[in-house]
Structure 1
Amino acid sequence: MMNKRDVIIYRAVTGILSALILMGVFQYFFNHEMVKGMFTTLKYPTYLIYPLGILKVLGLIAIWSNKSKTLKEWAYAGFTFNLLLGASAHMNINDGGYYPSLVALTLLIVSYVYNRKLYS
């Protein structure tokens, strides 16, 4: 049986995480030149911007829907790698831009733990 408190924590944390990710996706599509400059500074290829934005939206859909446990696990893994690589890239150029990635990674871990607690 699901604990109501755990459900609230899961949904709140996953909601905040989703909002952060969607704000980034919004930037990818509607502030492309700024994101392109950031990707160039971080030494990432700029052709990844649109596919990454699409994959982030699909990842959020996979996390929120309970259609496939495997797909949900892959979405959590993909976000983990993305956030770790983003934090690492910002640390490498020492611009202090890694804090949002670490906050999102913390939210992702909490979301994942409560997802496993509720749906496994």
Structure 2
Amino acid sequence: MTTNQRTAKKSKHIGYWVVTGLLLFGMVAGGIAQISHVRVNVDGMIRLGYPLYTMRLLGIWKLAGAVVLIIPGYGLVKEWAYAGFFFLLTGAVMSHIASGDAFFQWVAPLTFAILTVISWYLRPANRRLASTTDTPSASFQATEPQSI
């Protein structure tokens, strides 16, 4: 591996942890605020027309997703966490837009949705699903028909 390749790999690794750290900070802070029914979150949910009981559920899922992203292994569950964050955050953006909210009211979920995609893209190999195309499974290999 050349010096440039090592530098690029190190930069990507640092970028992953910076972006993922920001994402995790937002999900943990938001999750705690939702579980605790912080007034600004309650007001926002009421303004958007969502029932308040969904706040605790969303908060618990945010905290669970943050834990999954930080621990090693569990590639498939990490994929679910990234997908969950992406759907949650883009749904929040669309809810704010549909409710007629100003840009400053939906820029935070948009920013965290972008951080989610960047973190997913930059994740190191040990935090990815094993590729199914690396070694074909015996059940998917073509075989000659057996004559009877």
TM over 0.5, yes or no?
yes
Check whether the contact 1:13–1:111 (CA below 8 A) recurs between aligned residues: yes
Choose the corresponding residue for 2:114, options 103, 106, 118.
Answer: 106
Runs of 4+ in 1 over 2 A off after TM superposition: 29-34, 117-120
Say whether the 8 Å CA contact 1:7–1:118 is kept in structure 2: no
> Within 2, Cα distance between the matches of 1:65 and 1:26?
19
SS for the counterpart of 1:98 is: helix
Please state whether the residue corresponding to 2:101 is helix, strand or coil: coil
Q: CA deviation at 1:31?
A: 4.6
In the alignment, the residues of structure 1 paired with residue 45 and residue 121 of structure 2 have an alpha-carbon distance, to the nearest angstrom, of 31
Q: 1:1-120, aligned counterparts within 5 Å?
A: 3-96=9-102, 97-115=105-123, 117-119=124-126, 120=128
Q: Per residue, is there more helix in 1 or in 2?
A: 1
Q: Secondary structure at the match of 2:29?
A: helix
- Whether the aligned pair in 1 keeps the contact of 2:33 and 2:59 (CA below 8 Å) is no
Alpha-carbon deviations, 1:44-66, whole Å to 9, x = none?
12111112111101101111112
In structure 2, what is the Cα distance between the partners aligned to 1:51 and 1:68? 22
Q: Percent identity, aligned pairs only?
A: 28
TM-score (norm 2): 0.73
List runs of 5+ in structure 1 lacking aligned partners. none
Higher relative contact order (CA 8 A, sep 6+): 1
2:111 maps to amino acid: V
Give 1:40 shift: 1.5
RMSD: 1.8
Q: Which moved more, 1:104-113 or 1:22-31?
A: 22-31
